[in-house]
Structures are given as structure tokens and as C-alpha cells.
A and B are shown apart, each in its own frame.
Chain A
Amino acid sequence: MSHHTTPQSAPGSGNGWEPRIVAFFCNWCTYTAADLAGVSRMKHAPNVRIIRVMCSGRVDPQFVLEAFARGADGVLIGGCHFGDCHYSEGNYKAARRVRMLKRVLQEMGIEDARFRLEWISASEGEKVGMVINDMVEEVRALGPLGLPTRFKEWDREMEAFAHAAEAEVKEVAHAG
């Protein structure tokens, strides 16, 4: 495990690629835990950018897809433990969606470790750092996802396909 490793190089500090992870943290548990980590000055890797939502149940699968499509190498969702949800059951809904979404991501060739759901309560400041460091190292090991680049390749592929189809149609028309 990489819990105790401190981040070696910072993104932008050199030419080396650094994982970029987008996190959605629920207001009541995980965001508060991240604040606690801050107040307790618990250092962790700088690769995660947090977006605050009221509940992990608010995380639309499209947010996750958008993040990957825009170039995120990983997406992390943080919510309250089962039984602790401020809205009683939003985290259960989040858990169900994550399971379904993982199948879709698998189909798209996005590795399992790039998308993570963690339950972190308001008191677990230490866990925030552990999860972040762990995920950053896992994603680092996988390398860049580079979905935007892949999309461009797919676009070119589609364009070529469209041209070919068009040409075929013309040919058929001509022959007719």
C-alpha cells in the first residue's frame, strides 16, 4: 500500500505527467472530513480536485462520464457510511449507481481503479489522505487515461467511415 508515501513530484512542476483526479464529496461527511484533514494539517497528494455536492446521491453518472471525457484520469466519490447519510439513504442510491456505472466504464475500457466510491465519515480526516494517496498511486501506475485524445482518434475514425459510406452511396447511385 502506498498510504505513507508522500507525493514525489507535483503536477506542472516538470514535464512528467501527473494524475488528475476529480472528486465529488458529500457536504456532511466526506467534505467535512476533508476539512478536518486540512485543519489537522494532514498532508496528502495534490492531485485531487474536490467538487462539493450536498449528497453522494446527487452525483449523476453523467458527471463521472464528463470528467473522464474532459481528461480526468480518475474520479472519486466520497459519501457517508451506510446508515449515516444526512438524507437517510442517498448513499445507497449512489452505491447502486456506481455499481451500474462501473459496468459501463468497463465496456469503455476504463480500468476499475480509476473510479472509486469511498465512505468517509466527518471524523475520518485521516482516511481522506489515505484514500487520496492510495488512489493517486494506483492511477499513476495505470498511466494517463487520455480519453480526449482517444475521442479525437475515434472522431477521425468516424469521419473516415462516414466518407467511405458516402463514397459507397455515390458509387451505387452512379452504377444505378
Chain B
Amino acid sequence: MFDASAHDAPRVGFYICHCGSNIAGTVDVESVAEFAATLPGVVVSRHYKYMCSDPGQELIQQDIREHQLNRIVVASCSPLLHEHTFRHATAQGGLNPYYFQMVNIRENVSWVNPDPTAATLKTKDLVRAAIRRVAHHRSLERKRVPINPNVLIVGGGIAGIHAALTLANAGKKVTLVEREPTIGGHMAMFDKTFPTLDCAACILTPKMSAVKTHPNITLWTYSEVSQVDGFVGNYKVRVTRKPRYVKEELCVGCMECVTSCLYKDARFPDEFNQGLSKRKPIYIPFPQATPQVVLVDPDTCIQLKSGKCKKSCVEACERDAIDFTQTEEIKELEVGTIILATGFQVFDAARSPFYGYGVYPNVYSALEIERLVNASGPTGGEVLLRDGRTPKKVGIVHCVGSRDEKTNRWCSRVCCMYSLKLAHLVKEHTGAEIYNFYIDMRTPGKSYEEFYDKLLKEGVHFIRGRVAEVTDWARSPEEEGKLIVRVEDTLIGVVRRIPVDMLILSVGLEPRADAQQIRRLFNISCSTEGFFLERHPKLAPVNTFTEGIYIAGACQGPRDIPDTVAQAGAAAAEALTLIDTGYVEMEPNTAFIQEAECSGCKSCIPLCPYKAISFLEDKKKASINEALCKGCGTCVAACPSGSIVQNLFEDEQIFSEIDGLLADVAGV
């Protein structure tokens, strides 16, 4: 392999990409290419329509061979997008890939600086900087780091369940950590799923049981990840397991303890049923909960609160599974990859007070209605008002906490479809007149528009307009006790008053309240709305900027079950790719110490967050452990003797970049 050393006189090949009209529409690419040709060391200077295309890459490779180029500079899009493409092309041409430098003139210039003169001038500065920088590049090798084949999945909703089963079926060991006492997530609360109207539990619970019984899956419910250290392939994770006060391995879910509890009647709000029913202090969240293990709520259990209960539950348990001495348990595990599937929370409708949620008892959130229509829900599947009557008129308000400047600006994607589903189900259960209040009907998806058509034919009313106000201000005796919905019907241009018995608020999906803490824990980013940020919105939708950490499901943005499952599969495939490759190649941007220059002052040692720098007592010199160094360069910037070098970001490289940027400033 032809390889140039850093001391060879640079023979630079420069390429500027038109990117169709994305760059060339603003930047005068021809004049930049002419300009670059005049710079010292530049042997070839070209402009080309699409540098990332095969012919574009081929151009670089040919030129390397024909003109004995030893440095390559490409001015095109962001290095975060195509740096690896051009490094690869450089390597294919026979050069070490690190003799390449990229200039970002699309995201940083043409897309943000519309003035062609200014954009061209800025491009020339950036190009000159890169051409000066690349002269100082060196040949580098990528280090291979082995991948621990075990996977951690955080979140046991449908996304986490699907990803866990996919990986486990491929023979990988998976630990699934779920915060709640059972897996199943939001999907377990739904009655039917759109547009097929198949029962959510019927398709979900077999997968939940499969998770529990799979030999390759360790399931830790009622647990939370509390610490994450390490890097791709080698993460060390600490999981906090909350006490259930029940020995999981002994409990068989017979519920004898629940029956015998001192509280004869259930009297505490049942979280799973959205508070629409009651549970006891010792309980199982729902009949198909997985694992089938009861738990004791320390806030309501008399024994745990006061220690003065006769503990009839303990007596009732034949297996001696109840253990009031249990405490929080910390588990540690080592994994190579992590999939975050932490889901969403529904919008709290009380934040939009004009809908009357929390004020009028018969205003419900959609999730509450999911429980009401569910045969195993608090009413056994009967849709009833709080006073037990069957509603005769039901309104469904779309876009509550979605597409709203005052709350959440985004479309939550699933609400139109689940509103249609609930319209169908409530009509089926009660025979009521149903009114949908919508802004736009959004039903993209396989068989979704057809489902909307079906609802139109079922005689459900659709009123296009945003609901302004919900009150109980009756104007006639018939309206007494009803909810009055004031809405502008924008299709006929009048403001209407529609009295209903029940109002359902189609609440949107939003990031979980602690999404920011979670992303910090895992060292990933959030997008503006607060959902986890993907590496690329189109081409790397389940990857994050942290290698080996993937995202799946609604933690990345609102999505329905089919899309969530597809994404979970994609995340599993990404993890599998790493695992089956067996190693990952690390960017060689680590730092090292030039021993001869080191004065042994130890300034660098406390700066390193990874404890990668140690002091060699015998030599009185600092030393960097390359395996621990993550390449931030903080120590390099602090070294008073300039003895630390960061590969790819050497002082000389950055200084020459600075000088290149400013070389045309008058007075220099």
C-alpha cells in the first residue's frame, strides 16, 4: 500500500461538490476550484456534481493513483454525514484514510448563508484552512475493541418486548429492565388496536409470557437503571431493584394474600386502571401482569407504614413469599449494547383547562376510556358515566395537547386513528351518538384511510373545528347535567353548541417527564421536543450519537404499534450487527504523551474524567492508557509543555486551520 508520511511534501487533491444545486446554487463552485488550484501543495482541483456518488468517489481514487496524491480534501456536506464515505474512498485509492479532511460547505454555508458572494468567500476561507490542515495529517490505525455480546433493554413496553425477543431468539443474552411492576407498557392498557380491531391483550400477552419464559432473557421489573459507565461494547450498568416485599422466585400469583388482606375492600386508586377502580395495598397490577407476582405498596400497607398489622397476608401465603424486610437491591451487569425503549407519557389534559378535565367528572382522557371499554377493566367493559348511567351522546375532542402552540406543537400521529377506534367501540358498546371534533383528519397508514371511511358510514358525526370551551351551562331543562361543547364548525362557518353526556379528550403523546435525566444517564441527546434524538432522521433512525446505544418506539417520537415494532426490530438488528461483528473499530482520536517533552507536572491527571492518565513514578512522566482515553482532548489543551498530542486534532492541525481561515485578513 502506497502510504505517505507526514513529512512528504503534500500533494493535495481538492474536490468541491455541487450537491446538485444544494451547494452550487449558492456557492460559486468553479471559482472555489480555481482558487484552490492556486494554493500551495494542490495538485488537482475539481468540482463535481455529486462527490458522494460512485463516480465521485472513483474520481478521488483515480487521481490518487495518477497524480500520486497524498492528501485529499473534499468540500461538501457535514463530516457527520459523509466523512466515512470519503475516508473510505481515500483508502480505496491506496492512501491511509486519515490523510483526508472534509469541509462542511452545505450545512455550514450554502444552507444558512444565502448571499452567493459571502457564501463563496466563506467557502474559500474554509477550503484554505482545510488544505493547510491536511498537510499536518498523519497515518493512523483504527483500534479494534471487542463487543460484549450481552444486551440491556430499558423499557418493557411493546418496543422493549419485541427487541428482547428478537435478540433472544437470535441466541443473545438479554436483560430487560422495566420500571413498573409488570411489562406490557401502554399497549397492555388498550382494549382494541386500530385499524384491525384485534384485541391488544390477545396479541401482546403471548409475547409477554414469552419474555418471562425465554431462557435468554433476564427480566427485572420494578427496577431502574441508576448508573451507566463504559463505552460501546463494554458498558457497565447498575440497576436498582425496588423492593416488592414479595420474593419473586416463590410467588406463584395465587392472590390468596390479596384476598386475606386486612383491608376487606379495595380502597386505593388502581394505577393500571387510571384510578377508575380501587386496589388493595397488596395487589397484582392486572390479571395478565408479567411476572405473575404480587407486590406491596409501602405507602398504603399498614405493616410497612406502622409495623402494627397482624399480617394476615403472611399467614395466607403457603409459600412464605411475603417478606417485609426486603430492601432496595443494587445489581451490576456488563453489556455491549443498550436499547432504550422507554416510551412516552400521555398529555395531562388538565393543562388545557378549557376542556374541563378534572372539573367536570364526565370529561375523560382517552386512556381512561381505553380502560372503560376493556372487558377486564373497572366496569367489565361497560362504558358508563361516573353516576352509572349509559351516555347517549359522546363527544371526542382530537388534538388535546397536540398541534397546539400553547402546549405541544407536534402532531402525535396516533390520536386521529385511536379516536376513530374509540368512536367505533363506544358506539358499539352504548349505541350513543358520537361527535368527533377534529382539526384535520390524519390517517396515513395501511388500511387507515379505509377505517376512516368505515366510520363515516357508521353514522359517526365529524365536526371540523377546534373546541373552544366545555361548560355545564344549560340553557334549557333538557341540557341540565350535560356538558356543553362550544365549537366553531369551520366547514359550515358557524359556532355550535353541542350538549353531550360524556366527553373524551384525545390526549397527545409527549416525552416522559424524566426523559432529560434518562438521556444524561445514557449520554445521548434529546431533540427540541424532548424526545430522544436519533443519529440521522432518515438514515440512522434507531442509532444515537453514542455508539452502541439504540432507541426504539415512542421515546424517539410519537408512533403507532406497527411502527414501534418495526423500529424495535431495527434496533435489535443494529445491536446484532455489532455483536456478530464481534468488535468495533474506534475513531483513532485518542491522546498520547510525548515523553521527552513531559515535565511531569501532573496538571493533566485530574482533568481526565476516565482516569486514563497515570503518573509513571520511575520516569516522572505522565502516561495515557489508550484503551481508556475517549478522545475529548481536554488534557491536551491544558498541558503547559505541549507534550500531549490528540490524534486527528493535533495542535499543529488546528493552528494551521486557524491561520488558513484568516490568511486573507488585511494586515497579516
Q: Which residue of A lies closest to B665 (CB)?
A: A71
Q: How far is the CA of A37 from the CA of B661 in the complex (A)?
A: 22
Closest Cβ of chain B to A90, distance in Å, is 5
Say yes or no: A13 contacts B118, CB within 8 Å.
yes
Say if the beta carbon of A63 comes within 8 Å of chain B: yes
Q: What residues of chain B lie closer than 8 Å to A87, measured between beta carbons?
A: 609, 630, 632, 634
Q: Are A146 and B667 in contact (CB under 8 A)?
A: yes
**Which of B108, B546, B632, B649 touches A34 (beta carbons < 8 Å)?**
B108
Residue in B117, B520, B631, B637 with the greatest tally of chain A CB atoms within 10 Å: B637
* Residue on A nearest B607 in the bound complex, by CB: A93
CB-nearest residue of chain A to B80: A35
Q: Chain B's nearest CB lies how many Å from the CB of A61? A: 8
Partner pick for B662 among A34, A50, A71, CB 8 A cutoff: A71
Q: A54-B633, A70-B662 are in contact. Are A39 and B111 (CB under 8 A)?
A: yes
The 8 Å CB contact of B118, one of A11, A60, A70, A148, is A11
Bound: A129/B113 CA distance, A: 11
| Chain A residue at minimal CB-CB distance from B657 | A51
A51 and B654 contact, Cβ closer than 8 Å, known pairs A20-B662, A28-B525, A32-B525: yes
How far is A174 from B78 in the complex, measured between Cα atoms in Å?
68
Given contacts A87-B630, A90-B632, contact A43 B658 (CB under 8 A): no
**B633 CB contacts on chain A under 8 angstroms:** 53-55, 57-58, 90
B-chain residues with CB within 8 Å of residue A124 when the two chains form the complex: 528
Establish whether residues A66 and B655, one from each chain, have CB atoms under 8 Å apart when the complex forms: yes
Which residues of chain A (29-78) have a CB below 8 Å from chain B? 29, 31-32, 34-35, 37-39, 41-46, 49-55, 57-63, 66-67, 70-72
**What CA separation (Å) do A140 and B79 show in the bound complex?**
30
**Is the pair A38, B106 in contact by a Cβ cutoff of 8 Å?**
yes
Q: Is A123 part of the binding interface, using a Cβ–Cβ cutoff of 8 Å?
A: yes
Residue of A whose beta carbon sits closest to that of B661: A49
CB neighbours (8 Å) of B107 from chain A are: 34-35, 37-39
Mask, B644-662, CB within 8 Å of A = 1, is 0010010100110111011
The answer to whether A51 and B121 touch (CB under 8 A), given A58-B637, A58-B646, is: no
Contact between B78 and A72, CB atoms less than 8 A apart: no
Q: Is B363 an interface residue (CB 8 A)?
A: no
Residues of A within 8 A of B125 (CB): 49
- Determine the distance from Cα of A112 to Cα of B493 in the docked complex, in whole angstroms: 58
Q: Are A43 and B545 closer than 8 Å at their CB atoms?
A: no
Nearest opposing residue in chain B for A49, CB measure: B661
Instruction: Please give me the residue from chain B that is nearest to A44 by CB atom.
Output: B112
Indicate if the CB atoms of B112 and A54 lie closer than 8 Å: no
Query: Contact at B112–A148, with CB atoms within 8 Å?
Result: no
Determine which residue in B114, B634, B655 has the highest number of CB atoms from chain A within 10 A of its CB, and name it.
B634
Q: What's the minimum C-beta distance from B251 to chain A, rounded to whole angstroms?
A: 40
Is the C-beta of B605 less than 8 angstroms from some C-beta in chain A?
no
A121-B525 CB under 8 A given contacts A20-B662, A31-B80: yes
Contact of B526 with A123 in the complex, beta carbons under 8 Å: yes
**Contact of A22 with B661 in the complex, beta carbons under 8 Å:** yes
Main SS at interface, chain A:
loop
Would you call A149 an interface residue if the criterion is a C-beta within 8 Å of the partner chain's C-beta atoms? yes
Determine if B306 is an interface residue (Cβ-Cβ < 8 Å).
no
Residues of B within 8 A of A97 (CB): 637
A142-168 vs B, CB cutoff 8 Å, 1 = contact: the mask equals 000010110010000000000000000
Chain A residues lying within 8 Å of B520, measured Cβ to Cβ, are 83-84
Q: Does A109 make an interface contact (CB < 8 A)?
A: no
Of the listed residues B126, B546, B658, the one surrounded by the most CB atoms of chain A closer than 10 A to its CB is B658
The residues of A that contact B114 with a CB separation of less than 8 Å are 43
A78–chain B nearest beta-carbon distance, Å: 12
Do B113 and A148 have beta carbons less than 8 Å apart? no
B residues 515-566 with Cβ under 8 Å of A?
Answer: 520, 523, 525-528, 533, 545-546
Shortest distance from the beta carbon of B128 to any chain A beta carbon, whole Å: 10
Interface check B417, CB cutoff 8 A: no
The residues in A between 95 and 153 inclusive whose CB is less than 8 angstroms from any CB of B are 97, 121-125, 129, 146, 148-149, 152
Q: Does B440 sit at the interface, judged by CB under 8 A?
A: no
- Whether B662 contacts A88 by the Cβ 8 Å rule is no
Look across to chain A and name the residue whose beta carbon is closest to the beta carbon of B120.
A12
Q: Which residues of A contact B79 (CB under 8 A)?
A: 52
Cβ–Cβ contact B104 & A58, under 8 A: no
CB distance from A25 to the nearest CB of B (A): 9
Q: Complex: how many Å from CA A123 to CA B325?
A: 46
How would residues 65 to 86 of chain B score, 1 for a CB under 8 Å from any chain A CB and 0 otherwise? 0000000000000111000000
Binding site for B on A (CB under 8 A): 7, 10-13, 20, 22, 27-29, 31-32, 34-35, 37-39, 41-46, 49-55, 57-63, 66-67, 70-72, 83-84, 86-90, 93, 97, 121-125, 129, 146, 148-149, 152
**B contacts, CB < 8 Å to A:** 78-80, 104, 106-109, 111-115, 117-119, 121-122, 125-126, 129, 520, 523, 525-528, 533, 545-546, 589, 607, 609, 630-634, 636-638, 646, 649, 651, 654-655, 657-659, 661-663, 665-668
